[in-house]
Every structure is written in C-alpha cells, then in structure tokens.
Chains A and B, each alone.
Chain A
C-alpha cells in the first residue's frame, strides 16, 4: 500500500504510454494493399493511352464487398500497375447512407460507384458530383445504348458511365420436363398464358411456383413481376412516366399490369407448385421458391439472372442441363423489352489520374477483365461475349448488347424510398393476401411523397 501511495502517478502514466505505443503501431497498418508488386509484369500496351502517373492515389467507394470486390480489384490490377496509379478500394454495405454523409462532410471518395440511378441524382442535387470528362462521355456514346447512358444522366448532364449489369424477368424451367410433356417455350404473353392453362389442365404439376418472403423486404419479387408486365404491355414510355410519377401509380395501365400478373399469381389452379395455395407465396422464401422446378412439382419460376446461384450446388444451368431460363416474352413475338439493374461510376474529383481511371472503367478492357472472372455481366457493347463464364451470362450479355433491346432499370429502384422500398413491397404483400388491385394501387399512390 505504501509503495502504491508513493507512486500515485504511475498508473495513469503507464496507461498513457501504452496508449502512445498502440497508436503509433496503428500508423503502420493498411499499407501494400493495392500494390500487387510481386505479380508478373502485365502487357502494358493496352494501357499506354491512359499515360503514366507516379504513385498517385485514386480512392474508389462502392457497395461491392467480399469475393465480388476481389474480382473487381483484379480487373483493374493491370491498369494500376501499368499506369502507376494506386487504386484504393473501399466497399461498404452502408454505402447508400454513407456516401451522402461523406460528400456533405467534404470528404468524398474520388470515385463512387452508385448502385441506383436515384441515388446518383440525389447526390448530384447535393452539388458535389462532377460531370463526366469528355473522354468518358465519348466512350459511353460508343459502348452503351442510349437507355444506359440515360441512367448516368441527370437533367441533361452526363455524370458517369455504367459499370456492370444484371437482367431480370427470366422464367426458369426444367428443359427435361418441358420436352417430356411436349411444352414449347412461349413467344408471347398470350402463349405463356395458354401454356399455363395447358399445364394446369394436364394436372401433373402446378404451372408456377413463387416465393416473395424476404424478411423486411418481403414482396420485392412481386414488384419485378409487375414491372415486367408494365414494360411489356404498356411500353417503355408509360414505364418511364410511371417511374417519374408523371402518371399516378393507380393509372389504368398499371392496374392492367397488376391484373395480368394476378391472372397467374392469384389463381389457385396456377400456383403455388410445391408449397400450397396462393397465399403460401408470402411465406415462401424467394431463395427456396424455385426448388419445385427441380423436383417436378412446378413448371415455371419467374426470377432474375441471379437465381442461377440459388439452385442447389451441382445443378447444371444450361439449355440441355437441369434448369434453363427463357426471357418473359412480350405482347408480340420477338419483343425485346427487358428490365434489370446496374451501377453508375461517378467522380468527385477531376485530377488527371481520376479521369484516367474513370475512362478505363468505361472501356472494353475493364468489362472484359471483369466478365472473364465470372459472376458478372456488362451492357458494354464492346464486351467480348465469348468471355462469359456460363451459358446464362452469355445469353444475358447478348440480350444487353443487342441493338434492338429496350432496357429499363428496375422501377422500384428508381422510385422514391417511401414507395420503391416500402409501400410497393407491402402493397404486393396485401395484394397477394387478397386485397383487390384498385385498393392496393390507391394506397401506394397515396404514399408517394408529394
């Protein structure tokens, strides 16, 4: 006790010195991440046009994490090595809220990869995103369709090129089952309805299986159904007006789309193969909902291209494999309107190194590098479709690259959050649970922010 009393100052001092030590140790972390110096020298000829920089840093911020982030970083590794630009990547699932916080605090990244055009627009309104450099705009004009360029454009100013893409509206089926029963891939929505009736009359299985359960996001797969029908039945102009609230949510054309989807999803004879009645759609998880297709209990399942990863391990996804998918047809045969999603790359800095990076990201080299690693597709027209790692990726790329394809971004991603990630979802839930269409669309319309 006596000793302790004499050295009263010892404890805090000791603690402080530990602290200083620890803090100085912190300073040496986080280095050597983006370097990759030990890799063999890449063929730098393709990167000459971007010039060389002496270790300048470009900070990139996006939603992409884990394996997807690794693949993304790999696809610009050669670029970084050849140009001498150090690309510092940061992926965060909090991106949607953090990007606004960071840019308002005066601490934005050099490059942000926006998962939703709506978010880019609100950042532009915040006044910190820079319009895209000329080189990027020129490449975008060359490599992307007008539709895609539009998603990087806010109020007639072009802010950034698209990066990757996904395709929605696939109808998954078992090729063996279809062949056994002599069912044909429908070419129009009417044919799809006839096929549905035939399968139901056949009695071996329910024509459709669906699952909208997804925790607090329950209902979103249903929004994809409705979006597909609005785009195909009412056309892209009405779709755009719907998204921008130039027509109300309870417009008769939207009601028609709901009702057409309802002819399938709200009919006990057509759903829910493998699970039960119509309302079992609401308690079936979206990830499990396709399983009955493999089990021979349901003929068709509507889900985006990423359903490919929901099948059990070892399932062969190919035209002659265990499962395959056809695109939801249009009203007329050969119709080519599809829905999907993607990212936009925008910059908060106009340093030459940042411009060089942004230009590279709009180029075919980047798209090729990324697609070659699998699990991703791009709408870049200069992309070499033969690099696709699966038959489905290949088919999706061909769809995206085709001159005739009319592409529309997932509507619920473009609508304000109060609708797109709240009342549209819960509206779908009530609708499947038995509420009439008019009542549902009226209540969604009422929730649209004024």
Chain B
C-alpha cells in the first residue's frame, strides 16, 4: 500500500513538473517583445518536442551507430560485426528468416485480407464476419505467441494431445508432430501466427476502401458486361491502390521488427531467430553490444526505405485530394 502511495505521489509530481514547464514556456512566449513574438511562439512550442526527439531518438541512434563498430570491450573494431553478421552460419540463418518473414507476411496477409473483404462485401452478417477476423488484432503479440504455443503443443504418440493442431492430425490418423522444432518448417508455423494477426488489419482497411469505390463506376462496368473477375482486376484493384500500399508497407514495417512472437514461442532456438530477436540476444545475453548494435543498424536501414516510400505515397494522395 505504501508503495502504491509513493507511486501515486511520483505520478502527481511528474504531472506537476510537466504543467510547470509548459506553463513557464507559455509565460515566456507571452511576455516576449512584439517584434520577436511570432518566432518565440514557434520556438517555444517546437522546442520541447525537438529536445525530447534529440535526447530520446537522434542521440541514441548516433550512439548505436557508433557502438556497431566496437567490440565487446568498447574498442573500435571496424567492420568486424558486419563481417560476423554476413559470414556466421547462425547469423545468416537469422537474415534468411527475416527475408522470409518480410516476403510472406505482407503478401499473405494482404491477399487473404483482400479476398475476404471482397467476398464478405455486402454479405449477410458482414459486421460479425469482419469482427471475427479482426479480433486477433486486439491480442498482443506475446499473447498470440502463447496461444499458438498451445495450438502447436506436442505430446508423444498415444498420449492425450493438448494442442489442437496435433489433435486434428491424430483424428485424421496422423502422428503428432513437433511443429516448432524442425527447421525450416517451424519458421512458417511462426509466420502463420503473424498472418493470423495481420489479416484483420488488412481486411478492415481494404474493406473500407472497397466501399469507397463510386457506385457509378461499378455500374458502368456492369453495363459494359464485365465479368466479376474483370471487375475485380480493372475496377477494384486500381481504385484501392492507395489503401493497398498503406496496408503492405505498414505490415512490412511491423514484420521487420517482429520480436515478440519469436521470443515467446521459440526464443530464437531451432533456427527461427530473426534480426530483432538476435539483436536482443547478442546485446543483452551474450554481452556483445557491438553485434547487437550492428543488427539494429541493419534493421533500421531495412525499415527506412519502406517508411520513406509510405510517407511519399501518403503525401501524394493528400495532394490529389
């Protein structure tokens, strides 16, 4: 109880400090001489965010970049960490897996989400059908990892199975399998979990975009005698292109950073590690902060183009509007 009181007090203090600083800045801006007031306003309101960004993001990013070129004792070792990353067999497996994730998750999630959105569009009970697929989005990735660990759970042949997937195998006369232990298949079973989560996201965005296609365009195509497939190819897809780009890029960024699912389900064992997981393992468990930082840097460089592309597409769309 005493602890709780203390924490509460800390929250109050933090809020008071925040209010005091903001109040103080407002006061200064307000008191600034007229000639200078516009600039003072801009600086006054930008500065807190800018300072926080520099302290919390720019500076650590610079430090991490530097760290990537040092060894475990902090001495500069040139490109050794990167040479390790691209020559060590287990590090290569990590890179391979990340590539698999990045190709498969956005593709599968978007295709499944799109197909589902098209099929349930204006169907009876559309809301319920949507909610069912969207629900996994509400589960944290760690939660999803634990759930699917149970789904894939294994008990020996002849024993009572506790995992649904193995139970189904047994019902159909198969032998129970250790889904998470055999590379490279296990990576696909992990990817399935991520797809399960992301399909809902893709479906909701794409469904909304489909509903936004003007009815007259669709009607016109019908009058021209377009088949369902032609209509989908030539009307639906081009009309929702913007939404598709957003969905694919967003899921790609999430996938590049995937950590929780891998760590919860296999902890990167059995050749399932991905860059984010390996970064953590190297930096905090193996005492190799340099290697961890190098992995972080590569991850950053992989995410960067996707982010830039995403931002540019969004900007273009805004201009069109």
A residues contacting B by CB (< 8 A) are 8-9, 11-12, 15-16, 18-19, 22-23, 25-26, 29, 215-216, 218-219, 272, 275-277, 279-280, 282-283, 416-418, 421-423, 426, 429-430, 433, 443, 447, 449
Known: A280-B154, A282-B181. A215 touches B281 (CB 8 A): no
The answer, yes or no, to whether B137 is at the interface (CB within 8 Å) is no
The complex places the Cα of A436 from the Cα of B157 at a distance, in Å, of 25
Closest CB-CB distance, A181 to chain B, in whole Å?
Answer: 22
Which partner residue on chain B sits nearest A423 by CB separation?
B286
A421 partner residues in chain B, CB cutoff 8 A: 285-286
B270 close to A (CB within 8 Å):
yes
Instruction: Check if A283 sits within 8 Å of B180, measured CB to CB.
Output: yes
B156 lies within 8 A of chain A by Cβ = yes
* Residue from the list A25, A283, A430 in contact with B9, Cβ < 8 A: A25
How many angstroms from the CA of A276 to the CA of B178 in the assembled complex? 10
Interface size on B, residues (CB 8 A): 35
| Given A12-B20, A280-B154, A280-B155, 17 more pairs with CB closer than 8 A | A11-B19, A12-B27, A18-B16, A215-B267, A216-B263, A216-B285, A272-B156, A276-B159, A282-B270, A283-B178, A416-B287, A417-B287, A418-B286, A422-B286, A426-B268, A430-B269, A433-B181
Interface string of B252-294 (1 = CB under 8 A from A): 0000000000010001111000000000010001111000000
Q: In this assembly, does B319 line the interface, its C-beta being within 8 Å of a C-beta of chain A?
A: no
Residues of A within 8 A of B126 (CB): none
Q: A254 CB to closest chain B CB, in angstroms?
A: 20
Q: In the complex, are the beta carbons of B286 and A280 less than 8 A apart?
A: no
Residue B24 is within 8 A (CB to CB) of chain A in the complex:
yes
Contact B286 A433, beta carbon cutoff 8 Å: no
Q: Could you pull out 17 A-B pairs where Cβ atoms are within 8 angstroms?
A: A11-B19, A12-B27, A15-B19, A16-B20, A19-B13, A23-B13, A215-B267, A216-B285, A276-B155, A276-B157, A280-B178, A282-B270, A283-B154, A422-B285, A429-B270, A430-B269, A433-B270
Q: How far is the CA of A430 from the CA of B270 in the complex (A)?
A: 7
Q: Could you tell me the distance between the alpha carbons of A232 and B156 in the complex, rounded to whole angstroms? A: 33
A-B pairs, top 10 by smallest CB distance, nearest first, are A276-B156, A12-B23, A417-B287, A15-B20, A422-B286, A15-B19, A216-B267, A418-B286, A19-B16, A22-B13
Residue from B20, B72, B156, B268 within 8 A of A275 (CB atoms)? B156
Chain B's closest residue to A16 (CB) is: B20
A446 closest partner in B (C-beta): B88
Bound-complex Cα distance A8 to B32 (A): 14
Are B181 and A279 closer than 8 Å at their CB atoms? yes
In Å, the complex CA distance between A280 and B154 comes to: 7
Interface string of B145-182 (1 = CB under 8 A from A): 00000000111110100000000000000001010110
Within 8 Å of chain A (Cβ to Cβ): is B129?
no
Residues of B within 8 A of A422 (CB): 281, 285-286
**Residue B38 CB within 8 A of the other chain:** no
The chain A residue with its CB closest to the CB of B28 is: A12
Binary contact readout B6-40 vs A (1 if CB under 8 angstroms, 0 otherwise): 10010011001101100110110010000000000
CB distance from A223 to the nearest CB of B (A): 14
Shortest CB-to-CB span from A100 to chain B, Å, is: 11
A447 CA to B72 CA in the complex, in Å?
A: 13
Q: Chain A contacts of B288 at CB under 8 A? A: 418
Contact A449 B267 (CB under 8 A): no
- Return B94 CB to nearest CB of chain A, in Å: 12
User: Which B residues between 22 and 75 are near A, CB-CB below 8 angstroms?
Assistant: 23-24, 26-27, 30, 72
Bound form: Cα–Cα A21–B215 in Å: 64
Bound-state CA distance A447–B154 (Å) is 32
Q: Quick one: closest B residue to A297, CB to CB? A: B159
Could you tell me if B9 and A22 are in contact, using CB atoms closer than 8 angstroms? yes
Contact partner, A15, options B16, B72, B153, B178, Cβ 8 Å = B16
Report the separation of the CA atoms of residues A16 and B18 in the bound assembly, to the nearest whole angstrom: 10
What separation, in Å, do the CA atoms of A280 and B178 have in the docked complex? 8
A272 to B154, CA, bound (A): 13
Query: In the complex, what's the smallest C-beta–C-beta distance from A116 to chain B, in angstroms?
Result: 13
Query: B157 CB to closest chain A CB, in angstroms?
Result: 8
CA A421 to CA B286, docked complex, whole Å: 7
Of chain B, the residue at the smallest CB distance from A418 is B286
Which residues from A are CB-within-8-Å of B269? 218-219, 282, 426, 429-430
